[in-house]
Every structure is written in C-alpha cells, then in structure tokens.
Amino acid sequence: MKRVDHFGNDVLGRKSASGYPKFQTLQKLVLSCLCLTHRNADVERSLSVNKKILISERTLLSEKALNALRLTRDAVAQFGGNVIAATITKTMMKYVTESHQKYLKRLDEEKQETCLLKKAQFEQKRQTGIEMNAIQTNDDRKRRKR
C-alpha cells in the first residue's frame, strides 16, 4: 500500500507527451487545499468565551449585547485582565455616554412599538366587532322579512 503523499507525487508528477505537467489544475487545487489551516483552536476558544458569557441568567441576550460583552472582555484582556490598569480617555467616556443614550432610545422605540401593536390589535378587534354586528343586523332583517 502506498502512502497518500507518495501517490499524490506520482499523479501530480506525470507529464504529457509535450513534457508539461498533465494535471496542472489539480496540482493548483491540491496546493491551495494544503495551504488551508486545519486547526480550529481560535474558533473553539471563541465559543468557550461565549459559553462563559451566556450563563443561565443571560440566555436572552441579543446579538448586539453579546457582541458588546465580547468587545468589553477583549478590551479588558488588552490590559492583562486588570480593569484598573485601563486608562480612561475622553473618547471612551463619550462612547459610554452615547451607548447609554442609545440604550434609552432603544427602550423608548420598543415601548412605542408595543403601543402601536396594542393599538393595531385593539382596532382589529373593534373592526371585527363592527363586522359581526353588521352581519347580525343583516341576519335579523332577513328573519323579520320571513
């Protein structure tokens, strides 16, 4: 039985009658595939961090919130895991203030959306009631005519 690398060398080393490599496209494909990394340690590490962030009390985090927590964790990691060692800049303070304002704005938008949804449901029920009342009135008229 031949080793795979020896077999590959034999196949890719074959030449055509004119002396050119017989399987040029296959050779490029194999070389491209061999350049790909076969490790997934970075992905596994990332999933592990996400698992630590998504504890049982935080299972309903939105994608944005999870990304924000990951960003914060990575920023703290730059200072050796010591939050106190981080220098607080004016830009950082600006971002914190803006993020709180965005949070309040999002809460307000969600509240307005909920109100609109409740109004639409109420209006639909009212319209259905009007239609049912009209059908009942029409049925009553038909009965009287008989």
Q: What is the pLDDT of residues 76-99, one digit of tens each?
A: 888 887 878 777 889 988 988 898
Can you tell me the distance from the alpha carbon of 120 to that of 2, in angstroms, rounded to the nearest whole number? 72
- Residue 85 main-chain phi, psi, to 5 deg: -75, -15
DSSP 15: B
Burial class of residue 12 in the structure, from the number of CB atoms within 10 Å of its CB (0-12 exposed, 13-18 middle, 19+ buried): middle
Residue 138's pLDDT is what?
85
Can you tell me the distance from the alpha carbon of 50 to that of 132, in angstroms, rounded to the nearest whole number? 53
Q: What is the pTM of this model?
A: 0.38
Residue 146's pLDDT is what?
67
Residue 81's pLDDT is what?
79
Contacts of 26 (CB under 8 A, 6+ apart): 11, 12
pLDDT < 50 positions in the chain: none
Residue 120's pLDDT is what?
94
Can you tell me the distance from the alpha carbon of 89 to that of 86, in angstroms, rounded to the nearest whole number? 9
**Tokens found for residue 7:** 């077999």
Contacts of 13 (CB under 8 A, 6+ apart): 21
